Amino acid sequence: MLFVFLKTSLPKDHEGDEEARFNAGQGGELQPVMCVDKTLDQLGSFSDLVEEAAQMKQEWQLVLVAALSGHNGVAPSVVEAEKSLQVMVHGVESGGDLSRYMAFDREGSPVQFS
């Protein structure tokens, strides 16, 4: 499983009502702050993941989640996981389509991007 933790921020070039919307908890710009890949054996509960993330002392609001299937019954390699994490991060940084990933807030509630 791949996890990319995100925080939201107000874009530097914001205009109009963007600041008011951001302060009301809407809009903003997503920024990746940390990533991790975990095998199913390493994965505990969502609370465990949040606790582990807290140890990194990085502020975050959302987490993107993806799963890698591997090939012929063999789990993905570290290199394959790293490449997939890079694709996820690039998608966030470039404003790409994030609909292929699951997204959750800090409480574990699903988030849908619009």
10 backbone φψ class: left, alpha, beta (φ>0; ψ -120 to 50)? beta
> Which tens digits make up the pLDDT trace of 7-53?
988 888 888 888 888 888 777 889 999 999 998 888 889 999 999 99
> Which tens digits make up the pLDDT trace of 61-98?
999 999 988 888 888 888 999 999 999 999 999 999 99
What distance in Å separates the CA atoms of residue 113 and residue 52, rounded to the nearest whole number? 25
pTM: 0.86
